[in-house]
Amino acid sequence: MSDWKPKRFWKTATPEPCEGGFTVTLDGRPVKTPAKAGLIVPTLPLAVAVAQEWDAQTGLVDPRTMPVTRSANAAIDKVRIQRAEVIGLLAEYGSSDLLCYRAPAPDGLVLRQRQVWDPLLDWAARDLGVTLAIGEGVVPVPQAPESILILQRELERTDDFGLAAAHDLISLSGSLILALAVMRGHLDGLRAWDVSRVDEDWQISQWGLDDDAAANAAVKRDAFLHAERFYHLSRP
């Protein structure tokens, strides 16, 4: 949608049932994706959220103010077309999951990582049947192929809209386990984001807050929370 900025021509954006799910019409005309596919979503709450974004537009359409629409477009135009590639890319995060890479020092950070991250790995072992190895520093930590296969199958069971959300949850946090914890309702998005920020928060506690870094982190946090919202809106 980045190069597509028409002026508002419609009076009302309306969520409506359609074949295959729900869509949004602009004065009776169904919305299309940038690739000209029908914007058909799996749930009424998701269609309502899309319609609200279209209804909020004034003058030129601003895609930056339409995150739900953008995510729906991504699910239809990108994930659906490249589903196998997306699943493979996301499953690879299991081989380099943030939660598995621990600092060798200082003791305070080592303890903090253990306190916050170990319970998530315990949850993954208990609820997902995945046991991941832990290492120190940045040296790659080999993971059992069967563990990565379990994580891949978990993603394969997720529909295109869920995968669109999972992509952002995983890439923004650096953790497939954290993303699955959010998707399964084990953690809410804000808590999961805080869990992903253990290293950064430790550095802030030692050296103080950098304004530019804080602004960048806030943008990523908002995107992470949007992905959580989009995932839940898309659930039947």
Q: Report helix, strand or coil for 13.
A: strand
Of the candidate CATH numbers 1.10.3720.10, 3.40.50.720, 1.10.3580.10, 1.10.10.10, the domain formed by 83-233 belongs to 1.10.3580.10
Q: Is the pLDDT of residue 45 over 50?
A: yes
- Spell out the residues 6+ positions from residue 204 whose beta carbon is closer than 8 angstroms to its own: none
The whole-number pLDDT of residue 151 equals 97
User: Please, which residues bridge with residue 19 across strands?
Assistant: none
CA distances from 137 to 100, 115, 120, 174 (A): 10, 18, 19, 15
Which residues of 73-138 form beta strands (DSSP E)?
A: 101-102, 135-136
CATH superfamily ID and name for 13-79:
ATP12-like (3.30.2180.10)
The whole-number pLDDT of residue 53 equals 98
What are the φ/ψ torsions at residue 56 (nearest 5 degrees)? Answer: -80, -10
Among 32-36, 138-142, 161-165, the range scoring the smallest mean pLDDT is 138-142
* Confidence class for position 1, pLDDT limits 50, 70, 90: very low
C-alpha closest to that of 217 among 191, 196, 186: 196
Cis bond before residue 67 (omega within 30° of 0)? no
Q: Which residues of 26-41 are buried (b: 16+ CB within 10 A; e: fewer)?
A: beeeebebbeeeebbb
Could you tell me the residue ranges of all domains in the chain?
13-79, 83-233
100: tokens are 């598995």
The whole-number pLDDT of residue 154 equals 97
Mean pLDDT of 122-150: 96
The whole-number pLDDT of residue 25 equals 98
Name residue, tokens 């600092």. 103
Q: Is the pLDDT of residue 2 over 90?
A: no
Q: Is the pLDDT of residue 138 over 90?
A: no
- Spell out the residues 6+ positions from residue 97 whose beta carbon is closer than 8 angstroms to its own: 132, 174, 175, 176, 177
- Length of the chain equals 236
Average pLDDT of the chain, as a whole number? 95
Helices and strands: H and E segment counts in the chain: 10, 5
20: tokens are 């295959």
Cα(61)–Cα(69) distance, integer angstroms: 12
First-residue to last-residue Cα distance in the chain: 26
In this predicted model, what pLDDT tens digit does every residue of 179-222 receive, in sequence order? 999 999 999 999 999 999 999 999 999 999 899 999 999 999 99
Q: Are 126 and 203 in contact (CB under 8 A)?
A: no
The whole-number pLDDT of residue 59 equals 86
Q: Is the pLDDT of residue 141 over 70?
A: yes
Q: Which residue has the higher pLDDT, 187 or 9?
A: 187
Mean pLDDT of 5-20: 92
Cα(120)–Cα(125) distance, integer angstroms: 9
Among 41-45, 57-61, 196-200, the range scoring the smallest mean pLDDT is 57-61
Mean pLDDT of 53-74: 95
Cα(143)–Cα(181) distance, integer angstroms: 19
